[in-house]
Amino acid sequence: MKKIFIILVVFLATMSTVAISAEIDGVPVIDQDIFEVTLNTDDICGPTAASEVLGFWGLSDEPLSGAIPDDGRAMENMLSEMMLRTGHVVNVGVYPDDLIEGMHSFAHNRDYELDITHHRKYQARWSHITSEIDAGRPVILLSWRLYHYVVVIGYNESGPVNTLKILYGHIPYERDYTVAQLGYDAELILVRVVRDPDPDPDPDPDPSGEYWYQDVMNWCEQNGYELEPID
């Protein structure tokens, strides 16, 4: 499900130029217009982007439909909870810090931990995005120019201008944007999912405090027996 395609194309001219593009496959696609109607709300691009990314990592309670767009019950439940945990407010949306806190809460409730890096305004770099995409991790991007959260699923350095492939939340769902179109003050939220280790096993039982223990030990000593723990 989680696949990354990297294409290297070499154009030979007077000097060799390497053009690189990469794209992540399998990120759930949400049409937020559908859920704004069914959930009677507005401005849900933040929870939409968070649900697409955490849905990609399998944090939904039920299997997602895989349809494009995914408007199934499992996705609706996930998006509804994400709105609640991020403190979504109609006609206001969600600020990045609240979105991050909500994603942490959502994941922790499912015994996962998130390692999140937040690059604020003017801190984001092209390499921050490309390294994540190359590693197979979609990126949440907040464009203040568009006043909209999107999910970056790919990049292309083969044209005259570098472009990012994003999930936009509206038809057409996949779009190509330049950094200039998204705004140089865009913020990035890089999400890495870590599963909590299994809890420590229960310690071996200690019967020495039981009322019968000393009587049993006395009997064993008198009759030449020793107690051994059971595997």
- The three-class DSSP label of residue 139 is strand
Q: Per residue of the chain (231 residues), what is the pLDDT tens digit?
A: 555 554 433 322 333 355 699 999 999 999 999 999 999 999 999 999 999 999 999 999 999 999 999 999 999 999 999 999 999 999 999 999 999 999 999 999 999 999 999 999 999 999 999 999 999 999 999 999 999 999 999 999 988 999 999 999 999 999 999 999 999 999 999 999 998 655 555 566 677 777 777 888 888 888 887 766 655
Residue 130: enclosing H or E segment and its boundaries? helix 126-134
DSSP 44: -
Q: Where are the domains of the chain?
A: 3-195
* Residue among 166, 171, 180 nearest 129 (CA): 166
Which neighbouring-strand residues pair with 7? 21
- Does domain 3-195 fall into CATH 3.40.50.720? no
